[in-house]
Structure formats: structure tokens, C-alpha cells
Amino acid sequence: MQEQKLQNRDKKYLWHPLTQHKTAAPPLGVVKAKDALFWDEGGNTYIDGIASWYTAMYGHCNEKISTAITNQMKELDFVMFSGFTHRPAIELSEQLMKILPKNQAKIFFNDNGSTAVEAAIKMALQYYYNKQEKRDTLIAFDGGFHGDTFGAMSASGLSSYNGPFEDFLLKVIRIPPPQEDTIDAVLELLDNICKNNSCAAFVFEPLVQGAAGMKFHSAKGLDLLIKKCQELDVLCIADEIMTGFGKTGRTFACDYLEHKPDVLCLSKALTAGMFPLSITTCTQKIFDVFLSDQLAKGFFHAHTYSAHPLGCAAALAGLELLSSDKIVERRKYIEAAHQNFVLRIKHHPKVKNARSLGVILAIDLAIDTGRYGKFRDRLYDFFMDNGVNLRPLGNTIYTLPPYVITKGQLQKIYGAIEDALEVF
């Protein structure tokens, strides 16, 4: 059959991420995407309710971004970033500095979210090494997720991803994300950890833990944790890969905080899913410790495609869209619609917890189930059968739609969720 053609060809050679190929259903062959929609090879249409892992926030095949990439490709396609520089990277750094927390001063380019965190952790460890201090411990939240390279994986707390590698990871001590009624206890735990270990950095997802199930925590509590770490000279690394560029209602989740992190990690919506690129930013204080007449004190960390001109062009176009009246208006609409939907369903007997922040909506079902398994797969299939791409995380249904989603499309997502509450 025509609709099986890509699936059959795929099966011969390809190995997909996060997939147990012995039991998983064949991957869906996608042939086209536009705005908040994509189409499979059978002509079926789906609403991309999670913006393809929180990347395509301005919609698929956005003409402004694709035009920027095309124009850049004709002028300068690529040049290595060691010993060279170029206009798109410089302009992107200038534009980012206008919206980043004011303590940020330097930008280091990587190629994906995991490597942005990897660079941040290496910066922190070498920061103390250059100061002739041996610090070997990271602090991270329970249930966090920061990527799949070894440093990023070490900071992550999801055993379903890390299990086979536990004996090879960096030393990490975990603390619970602070809730309004646990702030003092978590602060005391953090203080004890720092006093009894050689801590280099605190790595965290600010306000929302994405892969954990869109779990929210206290902005006040996180602010106090950052303050405590900085008082104890422990660097703070904010992983804004999921939360950045408007998803929490502000440009960055850290904009809700009084005390700003020392390092930020950015990717995903940075290039709107159009090109693999990521950034690690840091303060001048950190950068200065790498300045030396000794060559080895430099940050000898590199990626072949660092600061790729095409990715920088995509990011520049994305920043223009982010601040445009249309996108600001759409973000406000989605935020208000989510809040109204939470009010509508929060007392449903099958809803344990419903919450929203910015364009993020999450619903925990009143059912015990594993992160993966038959129940989760049935939920996923139900949504896809109804033309909505959502990827439940265990018993958590969430949507983080593109900013360009229409009112009708958003209401269809809500309707599919309400139907699921009646079916399951």
C-alpha cells in the first residue's frame, strides 16, 4: 500500500531514538508540514500539538525563516568558527544580548541541546580547575532531564534513560524541586550538600521540568536556591532549552527570577526547528578565568558546525518573529485559552492535577502508570487517530503548541483531551 512505502523503506536501515524496535509500531511517514500541521503519506492531517519537541514555535516551513536561510546559503554557506568569524554569528550575539539576563556577557556556540549543557558543565568544572580548585560534584533536581551526552546525562535524573550508564556518570547529588511549602527544607538540604561536598555547579530546568512530565516548581524557591549557591560560590546553570523564547509567558523562564544564573543553555526554539544549533552563555566572571598566557587554560571544546551561518540566520529571523505583534498576540491568546481550559477540566474525576504556564498546558491523570507502556501507547494512538500529535509522558498529557496555532486547531486539541478523559 502507498501509505506503507516509507515505513517499509525506513525499517531496512534506520534506528530511531527512544524506540524499542522489537515492540514499537512502525514510524509514521511524514511528507509535508505547514504552520501547525503536518501530513502523512496517506494524506492524513495532524495538528502538531507539541511543536515537534518544542522547536517549531513559529510554525512549520515558516517563510521568513526559510527565506533567511536561503539568502544566507547564497552568501556564505559555512566556514569553521575556530580562527574565523562571520556576520550572522556576530549579529545573533548582539540581538541575544538585548534579551538575555543582564549578567550574561559571552556566547559559546554548540549544535544541539545536549551539547549546550555539556559545554556548560565543562565550563563549570574547568572554571574551578583554572582557579586551582578541585570541584567534582554537581547538584541537580530529581527528575530533571538535560540531554543524552555524558555530562548532560549525569545531571539528568530519569533512570529510564540513564540506567545502563550509571556507573560511568559524573558525581551528582539530587535535591527535590522546591514547592511553596518545601522551600525551607530544600534550602537546608542544599546548604548541607554544599558544605559537605566540593560542588562546582547547580544544573536545573527553571520553573518547568519538561521530560519529567511538565512538572512546575516554585519561582520563589528556585530564586532562593540560586542565591544560596552564589553565596557559596557554586555556579548556577539554567537549562532553558525547552523553556526559552517565550514558552513560559516571558522571554526566558529566568525572567521570573531576581537572582540570575551564571550560565544559560539555549536550543530548540532558538532556530525554530529549522537548523540544529545551540548556545551556552555565561558571565564575564566565568570567561575571565579562561584568559591566561597558558594555552591549556583556554576552553578547548569545539564542534565542527559551531555558529553555522545558516543556523544563525534562522535564529535571527526567529528573534524578529518572537517580538512581532502577531506572535506576542498569539502567545497571549494561547496562555489565556490554556487557563480557561484548566478551569474547565480541573475538577474532572479523572484529572489529578491540571496546570498551565505560558503556552504550556499539562494534565496529570488520576491513574498509576509507568512512563512507557501499554496505557501510554493507547493514549498516544488515540490522539493520533483523532488527528492530534501529543506525546503523553506516563499519566501526564500535555500540549505546547506552535504560537501560530489557530483557535479552531487549539480547540480541537482540547476536545481530543476531553474525549480521552471519557474513553480511558
Q: Span 11-34, mean pLDDT?
A: 94
- pLDDT, tens digit (0-9, with 9 covering 90-100), for 322-341: 999 999 999 999 999 999 99
Cβ atoms of residues 153 and 169 within 8 Å: yes
Burial readout 363-388 (b: 16 or more C-beta within 10 A, e: otherwise)? bbbeeeeebeeebbeebbebbbebbb
Give the DSSP letter of residue 399. E
Cα(394)–Cα(385) distance, integer angstroms: 19
- pLDDT, tens digit (0-9, with 9 covering 90-100), for 364-397: 999 988 777 789 999 999 999 999 999 999 999 9
Task: Give me the helix-helix angle, 407-423 and 325-345, nearest 10°.
Answer: 20
pLDDT over threshold 50, residue 1: no
Q: Residue 270 — very low, low, confident or very high, per pLDDT cuts 50/70/90?
A: very high
pLDDT over threshold 90, residue 178: yes
Extract the C-alpha cell encoding 388: 492530534
Q: Residue 11 — very low, low, confident or very high, per pLDDT cuts 50/70/90?
A: very high
Cα(169)–Cα(143) distance, integer angstroms: 16
pLDDT over threshold 70, residue 165: yes
Containing H/E element for 288?
helix 284-289
- pLDDT, tens digit (0-9, with 9 covering 90-100), for 54-65: 999 999 999 999
Q: Considering Cα of 37, then 41, then 42, then 43, what sign does the dihedral take?
A: positive
Grid cell 572554571 is found at 127
Q: Give the CA distances from residue 60 to residues 35, 56, 80, 104, 279, in Å, rounded to whole numbers and listed in that order.
A: 5, 6, 28, 31, 22
pLDDT over threshold 50, residue 2: no
pLDDT over threshold 90, residue 49: yes
Residue 2 φ/ψ, nearest 5 degrees: -60, -40
The verdict on pTM exceeding 0.95 is yes
Confidence (pLDDT) at 421: 96
Q: Residue 4 — very low, low, confident or very high, per pLDDT cuts 50/70/90?
A: low
Q: Span 22-40, mean pLDDT?
A: 96
119 phi-psi bin (left φ>0, alpha ψ -120 to 50, beta other):
alpha
Q: Span 146-167, mean pLDDT?
A: 89
Residue 237, SS3? Answer: strand
Residue 142, SS3? Answer: coil
- pLDDT, tens digit (0-9, with 9 covering 90-100), for 235-245: 999 999 999 99
Strands 388-389 and 45-48: parallel
Write the burial class of residue 95 (CB in 10 Å: 0-12 exposed, 13-18 middle, 19+ buried): middle
pLDDT over threshold 90, residue 132: yes
Confidence (pLDDT) at 3: 46
pLDDT over threshold 80, residue 267: yes
Q: Span 275-279, mean pLDDT?
A: 98
Q: Residue 162 — very low, low, confident or very high, per pLDDT cuts 50/70/90?
A: confident
208 phi-psi bin (left φ>0, alpha ψ -120 to 50, beta other):
beta
Cβ atoms of residues 309 and 86 within 8 Å: yes
Q: Span 280-292, mean pLDDT?
A: 98
Q: Span 262-270, mean pLDDT?
A: 98
Mean pLDDT of the chain: 96
